[in-house]
């Protein structure tokens, strides 16, 4: 099968492509603009494989996207390319509207043209989305596939919009589509703006560890390799027209996550006499519109596709800390000018 992955140089896209090349026999074309978040170094382990190829392109560039989709003629489009960081969407929402909404619209049009041209009964457009489209939970309850959309950030609103476009292309034009909405991912090769790698790197550099607000916000953490496995299962066994929620059943407060990272680091890299990673924890101004809690009800994908995560949070987090400690070169190569500074407090443009 031929699989076009968009955003394959990003955190989840690169995990998906490493999985597809190492664990399946499909041909994979990675289409990525290589923004600050896209790094080909993350694909070094499979870059020389003859079943893998890369093309640098912007999903907002209609002509290029039409041409690439038409000439590759994929059986699957797995669409991950997006602006993904909530704090950046607070600072500069425009890019999120362009890439996440207009880019998805372009890709859907290209997919529709291909589908009508080839009449390929095996074709599927898989849109990779987020649980943030459902908004924020209180102390109880879980997001199901029936939870009404209620996005709160420019990022989640742009992803919700793209989810609706995908669904509409399915209903109106008969394009075979499937949507997945996943909780917070963590693991190796994640850009160090996101909570877990930011805390690991900052702690190691003896910088302060910023906790937004009181640290009681809850996220449901899933190891990125478990997400990659789930995506492949949905892309190959999911029912067209359906949505599947994906999550780790690993609810943690942000304060718990940061404290656990400090514990693991203390064991792996003792901080030196009279020093403590925990003492670096600093409560800072809250994120505007900060969602309180995300938690996924994964019973549909468990029951219908037989997917279960394989990594526990404890083992996955430990491996992640070890990976960042051993891969300073990758971190330096991808960071560009970013030095773990606070994002997301500026007024929007
Ligand atoms: P990421 O920011 O690490 O990677 C995004 C990738 O998309 C990068 O390689 C970037 O270069 C590429 N890209 C950005 N704009 C582009 C454009 N205009 N044209 C082509 N390529 C472009 O993101 P991620 O964390 O890997 O997330 C991937 C997808 O999964 C996103 O759609 C995101 O909404 C979704 N998601 C992420 C998480 C998470 O916890 N990270 C959870 C659920 C869903
Ligand atoms: O739920 C899925 C989403 O998870 C994805 O759709 C997004 O692409 C992904 O970025 C992630 O969004 P979050 O906003 O939850 O992730 P982030 O790592 O930015 O923040 C996790 C939590 O930690 C959140 O409650 C904010 C908090 N936080 C974050 C940073 C960067 C801090 O307390 N301090 C920080 O410095």
Structure tokens at 23: 């664990």
**Model confidence over 293-316: pLDDT tens digits?**
999 999 999 999 999 999 999 999
pTM attached to this predicted model = 0.98
Is 103's C-beta closer than 6 angstroms to any atom of ligand 1?
A: yes
**Model confidence over 308-347: pLDDT tens digits?**
999 999 999 999 999 999 999 999 888 888 988 999 996 5
Q: Which ligand is nearest to the CA of 39?
A: 1
Residue 122 to residues 21, 125, 241, Cα–Cα distance (Å): 20, 10, 14
Residue 319 to residues 279, 314, 322, 325, Cα–Cα distance (Å): 23, 9, 5, 10
d(CA 77, CA 24): 16
- Across the range 114-132, mean pLDDT stands at 98
Residue 337: what pLDDT?
A: 84
pLDDT higher than threshold 90 for residue 272: no
As a whole number of Å, the CA-based R_g of the chain is 20
Residue 102: what pLDDT?
A: 98
Residue 348: what pLDDT?
A: 45
**Domains identified in the chain and CATH numbers:** 2-192+221-249+293-312 (3.40.50.720)
Is 159's C-beta closer than 6 angstroms to any atom of ligand 1?
A: yes
- Across the range 153-161, mean pLDDT stands at 98
Residue 273: what pLDDT?
A: 87
Q: What percentage of the chain has pLDDT greater than the value 70?
A: 99
**Model confidence over 17-43: pLDDT tens digits?**
999 999 999 999 999 999 999 999 999
Ligand 1 centroid to Cα of residue 40, in Å, is 14
- Across the range 101-125, mean pLDDT stands at 98
Catalytic positions, written as ranges: 131-132, 155
Q: What percentage of the chain has pLDDT greater than the value 90?
A: 94
pLDDT higher than threshold 80 for residue 349: no
Please provide the average confidence, as pLDDT, over all residues in the chain.
97
Counting ligand 2 atoms within 8 A of each CB, the residue from 7, 35, 187, 194 with the most, and so the one to mutate, is: 194
Is 30's C-beta closer than 6 angstroms to any atom of ligand 1?
A: no
Contact between 29 and 93 under an 8 Å Cβ cutoff? The reply is: no
Counting ligand 1 atoms within 8 A of each CB, the residue from 7, 179, 188 with the most, and so the one to mutate, is: 7
């Amino acid at each position: 099968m031929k699989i076009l992955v968009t955003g394959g140089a990003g955190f989840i896209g690169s995990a998906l492509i490493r999985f597809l090349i190492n664990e399946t026999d499909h041909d994979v074309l990675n289409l990525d603009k290589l923004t600050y978040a896209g790094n080909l170094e993350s694909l070094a382990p499979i870059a020389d494989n003859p079943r893998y190829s890369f093309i640098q392109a912007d999903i907002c560039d209609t002509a290029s996207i039409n041409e690439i989709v038409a000439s590759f003629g994929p059986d699957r489009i797995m669409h991950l390319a997006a602006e993904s960081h909530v704090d950046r969407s607070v600072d500069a929402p425009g890019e999120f509207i362009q890439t996440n909404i207009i880019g998805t619209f372009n890709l859907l049009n290209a997919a529709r043209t291909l589908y009508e041209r080839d009449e390929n009964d095996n074709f599927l457009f898989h849109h990779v989305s987020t649980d943030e489209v459902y908004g924020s939970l209180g102390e109880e309850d879980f997001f199901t596939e029936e939870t009404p959309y209620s996005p709160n950030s420019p990022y989640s609103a742009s992803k919700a919009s793209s989810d609706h476009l995908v669904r509409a292309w399915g209903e109106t034009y008969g394009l075979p589509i499937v949507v997945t909405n996943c909780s917070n991912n963590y693991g190796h090769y994640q850009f160090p703006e996101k909570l877990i790698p930011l805390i690991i790197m900052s702690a190691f550099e003896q910088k302060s560890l910023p906790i937004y607000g009181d640290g009681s916000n809850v996220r449901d953490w899933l190891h990125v390799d478990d997400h990659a496995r789930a995506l492949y299962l949905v892309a190959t066994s999911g029912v067209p027209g359906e949505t599947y929620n994906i999550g780790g059943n690993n609810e943690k407060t942000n304060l718990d996550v940061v404290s656990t990272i400090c514990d693991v680091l203390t064991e792996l890299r003792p901080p030196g006499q009279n020093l403590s990673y925990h003492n670096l924890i600093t409560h800072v101004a809250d994120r505007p519109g900060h969602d309180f809690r995300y938690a996924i009800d994964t019973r549909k994908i468990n029951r219908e596709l037989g997917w279960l995560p394989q990594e526990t949070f404890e083992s996955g987090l430990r491996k992640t800390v070890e990976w960042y400690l051993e891969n300073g070169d990758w971190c330096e190569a991808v960071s560009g000018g970013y030095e773990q500074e606070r994002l997301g407090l500026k007024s929007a443009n």
